[in-house]
Amino acid sequence: MSPVVTTKLRIQKPAHEIFAALVDPAQMAHYWFSSGSGRWEPGKTITLRYAEYGAEVDILVSEVEPGRRIVFQWAAPGDPHVVTITLGELDATSATIEVTQTGWRSDEEDLVAKLLDNKEGWVYMLTCLKAYLEFGVSDLRAALVK
Protein backbone atom coordinates (compact mmCIF):
# COMPACT_ATOMS: atom_id res chain seq x y z
CA MET A 1 0.00 0.00 0.00
CA SER A 2 1.28 3.44 -0.95
CA PRO A 3 1.71 6.00 1.86
CA VAL A 4 -0.79 8.86 2.08
CA VAL A 5 -0.55 12.19 3.90
CA THR A 6 -3.83 13.79 4.98
CA THR A 7 -4.20 17.16 6.68
CA LYS A 8 -7.55 18.66 7.67
CA LEU A 9 -8.54 22.01 9.20
CA ARG A 10 -11.70 23.98 9.95
CA ILE A 11 -11.88 27.52 8.57
CA GLN A 12 -14.51 30.03 9.64
CA LYS A 13 -15.49 30.95 6.09
CA PRO A 14 -17.93 29.39 3.61
CA ALA A 15 -16.51 26.75 1.26
CA HIS A 16 -16.93 28.99 -1.81
CA GLU A 17 -14.67 31.67 -0.25
CA ILE A 18 -12.01 29.11 0.61
CA PHE A 19 -12.23 27.69 -2.90
CA ALA A 20 -11.78 31.15 -4.43
CA ALA A 21 -8.64 31.70 -2.36
CA LEU A 22 -7.22 28.39 -3.62
CA VAL A 23 -7.72 28.88 -7.36
CA ASP A 24 -7.00 32.62 -7.63
CA PRO A 25 -3.25 33.35 -7.83
CA ALA A 26 -3.75 36.91 -6.54
CA GLN A 27 -5.26 35.58 -3.31
CA MET A 28 -2.81 32.67 -3.11
CA ALA A 29 0.06 35.15 -2.98
CA HIS A 30 -1.17 36.21 0.47
CA TYR A 31 -0.73 32.79 2.10
CA TRP A 32 1.06 30.20 -0.10
CA PHE A 33 3.08 30.78 -3.31
CA SER A 34 4.25 34.27 -4.22
CA SER A 35 2.73 33.96 -7.70
CA GLY A 36 1.01 31.63 -10.10
CA SER A 37 0.71 31.70 -13.88
CA GLY A 38 -3.08 31.55 -13.91
CA ARG A 39 -6.36 30.55 -12.36
CA TRP A 40 -6.63 26.84 -11.60
CA GLU A 41 -8.82 25.10 -14.19
CA PRO A 42 -9.01 21.47 -15.39
CA GLY A 43 -6.36 20.58 -17.96
CA LYS A 44 -4.19 23.64 -17.26
CA THR A 45 -0.55 23.50 -16.30
CA ILE A 46 0.11 26.20 -13.72
CA THR A 47 3.58 27.44 -12.74
CA LEU A 48 3.76 28.30 -9.05
CA ARG A 49 6.65 30.45 -7.80
CA TYR A 50 8.25 31.04 -4.42
CA ALA A 51 10.18 34.26 -5.02
CA GLU A 52 11.73 34.07 -1.53
CA TYR A 53 13.37 30.73 -2.30
CA GLY A 54 14.05 31.25 -6.01
CA ALA A 55 11.95 28.17 -6.71
CA GLU A 56 9.08 27.21 -8.95
CA VAL A 57 7.04 24.13 -9.67
CA ASP A 58 4.58 23.18 -12.40
CA ILE A 59 1.32 21.52 -11.48
CA LEU A 60 -1.21 19.89 -13.78
CA VAL A 61 -4.76 20.58 -12.64
CA SER A 62 -6.85 17.53 -13.46
CA GLU A 63 -10.16 18.19 -11.68
CA VAL A 64 -11.98 21.23 -10.37
CA GLU A 65 -15.40 21.05 -8.80
CA PRO A 66 -16.19 24.64 -7.76
CA GLY A 67 -16.63 25.06 -4.03
CA ARG A 68 -15.91 21.37 -3.37
CA ARG A 69 -12.77 19.81 -4.79
CA ILE A 70 -9.49 20.34 -6.65
CA VAL A 71 -7.14 17.60 -7.84
CA PHE A 72 -3.67 18.26 -9.26
CA GLN A 73 -0.35 16.54 -9.89
CA TRP A 74 3.05 17.85 -8.91
CA ALA A 75 6.59 16.71 -8.10
CA ALA A 76 9.54 15.69 -10.19
CA PRO A 77 8.95 14.36 -13.72
CA GLY A 78 8.39 10.61 -13.60
CA ASP A 79 7.53 10.81 -9.89
CA PRO A 80 4.14 12.51 -9.80
CA HIS A 81 2.27 13.09 -6.60
CA VAL A 82 -1.48 13.60 -6.64
CA VAL A 83 -2.96 16.20 -4.32
CA THR A 84 -6.67 16.27 -3.63
CA ILE A 85 -8.15 19.26 -1.83
CA THR A 86 -11.69 18.68 -0.57
CA LEU A 87 -13.96 21.28 1.00
CA GLY A 88 -16.81 20.30 3.29
CA GLU A 89 -19.44 22.90 4.16
CA LEU A 90 -20.20 22.73 7.89
CA ASP A 91 -22.70 25.60 7.95
CA ALA A 92 -23.19 28.96 6.27
CA THR A 93 -20.07 30.41 7.89
CA SER A 94 -17.54 27.58 8.11
CA ALA A 95 -16.10 24.63 6.26
CA THR A 96 -13.41 22.00 6.52
CA ILE A 97 -10.55 21.79 4.10
CA GLU A 98 -8.78 18.46 3.67
CA VAL A 99 -5.58 17.98 1.69
CA THR A 100 -4.56 14.44 0.75
CA GLN A 101 -1.30 13.73 -1.07
CA THR A 102 -0.33 10.38 -2.57
CA GLY A 103 2.50 9.20 -4.79
CA TRP A 104 5.24 7.98 -2.50
CA ARG A 105 6.73 4.56 -2.98
CA SER A 106 6.83 2.48 0.20
CA ASP A 107 10.49 1.57 -0.53
CA GLU A 108 11.56 5.21 -0.99
CA GLU A 109 14.75 6.29 0.76
CA ASP A 110 14.12 8.55 3.78
CA LEU A 111 10.37 7.95 3.39
CA VAL A 112 9.41 8.85 6.96
CA ALA A 113 11.33 12.15 6.79
CA LYS A 114 9.67 12.98 3.46
CA LEU A 115 6.20 12.19 4.81
CA LEU A 116 6.78 14.31 7.93
CA ASP A 117 8.13 17.20 5.83
CA ASN A 118 5.09 16.99 3.57
CA LYS A 119 2.66 16.93 6.50
CA GLU A 120 4.44 19.93 8.03
CA GLY A 121 4.12 21.83 4.75
CA TRP A 122 0.40 21.20 4.42
CA VAL A 123 -0.28 22.09 8.06
CA TYR A 124 1.64 25.33 7.55
CA MET A 125 -0.13 26.20 4.28
CA LEU A 126 -3.57 25.55 5.79
CA THR A 127 -2.72 27.58 8.88
CA CYS A 128 -1.60 30.51 6.70
CA LEU A 129 -4.80 30.16 4.62
CA LYS A 130 -6.89 30.24 7.82
CA ALA A 131 -5.05 33.34 9.09
CA TYR A 132 -5.53 35.06 5.72
CA LEU A 133 -9.22 34.28 5.34
CA GLU A 134 -10.35 34.70 8.94
CA PHE A 135 -8.14 37.59 10.07
CA GLY A 136 -6.65 39.19 6.94
CA VAL A 137 -3.10 38.19 7.89
CA SER A 138 -1.03 38.05 4.71
CA ASP A 139 2.56 38.11 5.92
CA LEU A 140 2.96 34.56 7.22
CA ARG A 141 3.62 33.05 3.79
CA ALA A 142 7.14 31.69 3.30
CA ALA A 143 8.08 32.14 6.97
CA LEU A 144 8.55 28.44 7.70
CA VAL A 145 12.23 27.82 8.38
CA LYS A 146 13.78 24.44 7.59
Q: What is the per-residue pLDDT across 45-62, written as a single tens digit (0 to 9) for each? A: 999 999 988 999 999 999
Q: What is the per-residue pLDDT across 5-34, written as a single tens digit (0 to 9) for each? A: 999 999 999 999 999 999 999 999 999 999
Instruction: Quote the distance between the C-alpha of residue 135 and its chain's center.
Output: 19
Q: What is the per-residue pLDDT across 93-131, written as a single tens digit (0 to 9) for each? A: 999 999 999 999 899 899 999 999 999 999 999 999 999
- Residue 49, strand partner residues: 35, 56
Task: Write the CB contacts of 25 (distance below 8 Å, at least 6 apart in sequence).
Answer: 33, 35, 36, 37, 38, 39, 46
| The pLDDT of residue 145 | 76
Q: Report the distance separating Cα 105 and Cα 60, nearest Å.
A: 20
Domains and CATH numbers, the chain: 4-135 (3.30.530.20)
pLDDT interval class at 86 (50, 70, 90)? very high
